[in-house]
Structure 1
């Protein structure tokens, strides 16, 4: 087996890389942006490489990636599913495996305390691949922090040529990050990107789609042909702001993106249906009743009467986003709006309810990806003429 150093040239979907004592850690926000926020949730989310993949060309029939993972476990709950590595060969699914070993970040949600238990690196192995030159993509787990230690193959590796596909930059919440998808190529943005024939940069940041100025600046500075921002659910989850602050913050976020992408197709998506928060403000609070059975659910802790004081609900946010985009589109013909309930609405909720009241299941991720591709990348969709 030959060893190839893992460098940024072999990675797609990351905005930054960090050299650690073990290897290379991909990041989805640049170092300067990470330095502007001390929030632990954001630090964890942006270091989980949703949409990040190793990409190269080789004749190898066996490929090994040594990696040190850090996964999260919750006190009193059954173990979370392992993060998966998805292999694509010439764009087609060819295997899925998880790593062994690694660190475990143990969180006690009842007290807010946490500790990290250290473990060794593990090896991800794909074997029995077809002979001949092929383009390889290894998509990293969306739900584990990953330090890439070493790439080993039984034939030389070279960087893959430019695919020539357009780059789609997307920002959203944990739903865009991946939530309960079966693997990194099965998150709704990854599925939509595959169907749309585009290269994905996924800035879905669990719990952290909060109109942060540094996220807007990172998007401003990232080369992209197509851009979308999904706004709303985390603002309600965190009970972060009131209506008075919301519209100016959205304007500022979009203004910043437009500084670097003045004419790029830009799609604003409102939240998908979430029954507990349609007309009830946040914050969202965990319900530990069924935690011992492995079922963590969430409840809306706000009071609908608080809307009169400016508290945000999903319907309030949708109305405001629709109005705001219509206003801006008068001077920005490349700005578009999509109601998130077109991806997951009332009928979908009846058929595929959100298991924990907030996050879609694996089947819903695929449905949302297919819906997004059909509405946005084809026909008269806002990205159709540009993808």
Structure 2
């Protein structure tokens, strides 16, 4: 620590955090969650527990004249047995809404996953410090976006000038989706497609995109129902196929129930249902998705579709089947719900995009594709005539 500074240490309280639905006190500090405790208690799946605790879209927001900001964190870094080490998670610093710095945190716990056996182990590690220097001494709004793909316990926040919470905010956009909405292989937390779209659309993002966990769970619907929001969207499809979770008979009623629950808390809020972006391996072939480990030692993991296209006749889900059903359901419900909308995900990323920017592992978009999806979503949904357009736009 630079001893020339006179430091102010501020409590890490909920009024400084945006994008989290719960703040858990731990032995080290506080852990932001993107699902409330009641929801977490209703599912023991390790994938969900990891995904909802990875703070995609979660950021510290405060007003200050500080020129230096330090944040002590205890990250949990992911590693895959047999693969090269993954890069550290990225912290984005925004000053008055513009990117002003980017950093990582050393140390932290390491969660090592063996994808061939499904087992994992955690090795504890030390607290690290993220440091941003050289900021203007003028009053400004500072945002520190936490790594979208790295569980992050917050230990201490230090600044060389006092801070105050920021109460004013724009329209709140609450979004739920899969790992693609979570951030998959985006460059940083402010460059996931939902973060980009929110920035371009002038909205305050709460991102409930959770890797492998967009499964029409009732507890997720209740979390959406109970969270104040001005705009709502749900992106449904790929996780239901790649987990091979349900058949068409269950899918339609589950979508209706999910929407019914959301509407209990948001009866007239603009609600957009988005189907999957193009994913060629699952357009006409059901799941489950199967990993290909042949190039894992080189850091390349690929996925294939393990289902049989003939099984769609028995009700197995493909992305085409899901899109058709989602479109039908929204059209049916919109007769009595004029604030319900549908967007085909291929409008965000389709065949021409796949030819130019293929999905590196056949499932997840890369950084450039996140930017394209975010820009298109902002144009089509927040732009003139879109379901999230400001009144009179």
TM-score (norm 2): 0.97
- The Cα offsets for residues 247-286 of structure 1, whole Å up to 9 and x where unpaired, read as 0000000000000000000000000000000000000011
d(CA) in 1 for partners of 2:168, 2:10: 20
Report 1:145-164 matches (<5 A). Answer: 145-163=151-169
Corresponding position: 1:361 with 2:366: yes
**Which residue is equivalent to 1:112?**
118
d(CA) in 2 for partners of 1:64, 1:338: 41
Which of 274, 288, 297 lines up with 1:269 in the alignment? 274
SS across alignment from 2:369: helix
d(CA) in 1 for partners of 2:164, 2:10: 9
TM-score (norm 1): 0.99
d(CA) in 1 for partners of 2:241, 2:322: 9
Which of 76, 81, 96 lines up with 2:82 in the alignment? 76
d(CA) in 1 for partners of 2:291, 2:263: 37
User: How far does residue 5 in structure 1 lie from its aligned partner after superposition?
Assistant: 1.1
**Which residue is equivalent to 1:341?**
346
Report 1:291-330 matches (<5 A). Answer: 291-330=296-335
d(CA) in 1 for partners of 2:68, 2:331: 53
**Which residue is equivalent to 2:127?**
121
Which of 10, 21, 30 lines up with 2:36 in the alignment? 30
- The Cα offsets for residues 142-187 of structure 1, whole Å up to 9 and x where unpaired, read as 1100000000000001112312x10000000000000000000000
Unmatched 5+ stretches in structure 2: 1-6
d(CA) in 1 for partners of 2:67, 2:363: 41
SS across alignment from 1:249: helix
- The Cα offsets for residues 69-114 of structure 1, whole Å up to 9 and x where unpaired, read as 0011000001112110000000010001011000000111111111
Shift >2 Å, 4+ stretches: none
**Which residue is equivalent to 1:280?**
285
- The Cα offsets for residues 309-348 of structure 1, whole Å up to 9 and x where unpaired, read as 1000000000000011000001100000000000000000
User: How far does residue 374 in structure 1 lie from its aligned partner after superposition?
Assistant: 0.1
**Which residue is equivalent to 2:294?**
289
How many residue pairs get aligned? The number is 386
SS across alignment from 2:57: coil
Corresponding position: 1:184 with 2:189: yes
**Which residue is equivalent to 1:45?**
51
d(CA) in 2 for partners of 1:42, 1:202: 14
d(CA) in 1 for partners of 2:116, 2:221: 33
d(CA) in 1 for partners of 2:138, 2:177: 39
SS across alignment from 2:190: coil
Corresponding position: 1:14 with 2:43: no
User: How far does residue 125 in structure 1 lie from its aligned partner after superposition?
Assistant: 0.2
Report 1:210-229 matches (<5 A). Answer: 210-229=215-234
SS across alignment from 2:249: helix
d(CA) in 2 for partners of 1:64, 1:129: 12
